Amino acid sequence: MKKVVILISGRGSNMQAILDARLPLTVAAVISNDSSAAGLEFARASGVATRVVDHRAYAERAAFDAALAAEIDEFKPELVVLAGFMRILTDGFVRRYAGRLINIHPSLLPVFPGLHTHRRALEAGVRVHGCTVHFVTPTLDHGPIIVQAAVPVAHDDTEDTLAQRVLAEEHRIYAQAVRWFCEDRLEIRDDGTVRLARAQDAVGALCSPACEA
């Protein structure tokens, strides 16, 4: 059974979804850069070891990343999961965990990398928005895509209402992506795409606003 370490900075709702999914893996630890992160208490209540590496204690990003990596490596995980971990990681850290570091982003990458994705989606007038699970590379929010989920954008959506629908899909697909990794079903191809073994192709299409026959 593979071991996973999850990194959080706040409430860790995606971490909670992964724990609640009771996947065939061991969550060896939940690590945060903030001792007040609400998700730490949930992890402890779930019987998961927790650690804090406070980024404010380090003058340089590389020093923080080195301390974080030392904590992670104590648990010898096969997979490191970023679940709302709000720190930009150095290239050295990312390369250390190449092929076993994944993230979820609240947009249909490659559109809207970075912050404020729901606001930017509304400002752009897109009719379909969503989320993406991807392997992490040194280029921010541009790693090989594992899975995506789309939601329609309603005419009266606000940032909050759109974010809530996207978050529900995040909880669903992140747990699925972690399961696939732990089942050895993911392969990063030479062209930078991800192949899922025994994949089932999606059927149908989402049209928003609803398209008339």
User: Could you tell me the pLDDT band of residue 171, with boundaries at 50, 70 and 90?
Assistant: very high
What is the model's pTM? Answer: 0.96
Of all residues in the chain, what percent carry a pLDDT higher than 90?
93
User: Could you tell me the pLDDT band of residue 19, with boundaries at 50, 70 and 90?
Assistant: very high
Residue-range domains of the chain with CATH: 1-97 (3.40.50.170), 106-131+141-196 (3.40.50.170)
Mean of per-residue pLDDT scores for the chain: 96
- Looking at this protein, which amino acid is placed at residue 117? T
Q: Is the pLDDT of residue 173 over 80?
A: yes
**Residues 187-199: tens digit of each pLDDT:** 999 999 999 999 9
Q: Is the pLDDT of residue 27 over 70?
A: yes
Residue 25's pLDDT is: 97
Quote the CA–CA distance of 22 and 180 in Å, as a whole number. 14
Set 55, 105, 134, 142: catalytic member = 105
Instruction: Using the Cα atoms of residue 97, residue 98, residue 104 and residue 107 in order, give the sign of their dihedral.
Output: positive
DSSP 4-20: EEEEESSS-HHHHHHHH
Quote the CA–CA distance of 31 and 21 in Å, as a whole number. 19
**Residues 76-88: tens digit of each pLDDT:** 999 999 999 999 9
Residue the block writes with tokens 């008339």: 212
Residue 9's pLDDT is: 98
User: Could you tell me the pLDDT band of residue 213, with boundaries at 50, 70 and 90?
Assistant: low
Q: Say if CB 175 and CB 169 are below 8 A apart.
A: no
**Residues 60-111: tens digit of each pLDDT:** 999 999 999 999 999 999 999 999 999 999 999 999 999 999 999 999 999 9
**Residues 6-15: tens digit of each pLDDT:** 999 999 999 9
User: Could you tell me the pLDDT band of residue 208, with boundaries at 50, 70 and 90?
Assistant: confident
Strand 101-105 to 79-82 pairing: parallel
User: Could you tell me the pLDDT band of residue 205, with boundaries at 50, 70 and 90?
Assistant: confident
User: Could you tell me the pLDDT band of residue 32, with boundaries at 50, 70 and 90?
Assistant: very high
Quote the CA–CA distance of 109 and 107 in Å, as a whole number. 6
CA 192 to chain centre: 18
- Active-site annotation holds for 171: no
Residue 206's pLDDT is: 83
Q: Is the pLDDT of residue 116 over 60?
A: yes
